[in-house]
Structure 1
Amino acid sequence: MDLTGARWRKSIRSGPDGGNCVEVADNLPGVVAVRDSKDPAGPVLVFAPEAWRAFVGSGSVRR
């Protein structure tokens, strides 16, 4: 999958040190990509937008 046009962003809840975060790119057509902010060249998980919305809206994310 070509992710060269991905615009990566971190959660506004990321700490000031910027570590231990995931980055999300939701500007790509038909997919939402997720990666580890500490390893931007590493693996990327790709979700259908509906699956990502269900995950984020499920309340299963720790705060």
Structure 2
Amino acid sequence: MSHITFERSRARWERSSYSGGEGGQCVEFARDFAASGIVPVRDSKDPEGPAIVTSPGSWTSFVSAVRSGGLADL
């Protein structure tokens, strides 16, 4: 597995609209790097913690699955 880095200080994190408003399961992502071929994703409860990095296409597929209820059983 390769290690991908990005400049975290340049990231403008957005909280997913599917994250609960109670401060529970909150996912944040940064679109800023999509032109570079990556979308960083992190847990908003641990903003200095690790971020996973995925491709824009994979992120779009994941969001589509969430919207359609395809991940409801997980």
CA-based RMSD of the aligned residues comes to: 1.7
- Runs (5+) with no aligned partner, structure 2: none
User: Residue 25 of structure 2 aligns with which residue?
Assistant: 20
- Runs (5+) with no aligned partner, structure 1: none
Q: Which has the higher contact order (CA 8 A, sep 6+)?
A: 1
Q: Distance in 1 between matches of 2:10 and 2:22?
A: 26
Q: Distance in 2 between matches of 1:57 and 1:15?
A: 18
CA positional deviation for 1:27: 1.4
Q: Which moved more, 1:46-55 or 1:26-35?
A: 26-35
TM-score, normalised by the number of residues in structure 1 = 0.77
CA positional deviation for 1:21: 0.4
Aligned length: 62
CA positional deviation for 1:18: 2.9
Q: Which has the larger radius of gyration?
A: 2
Between structures 1 and 2, the one with greater helix share:
2
The one-letter amino acid paired with 2:44 is: S
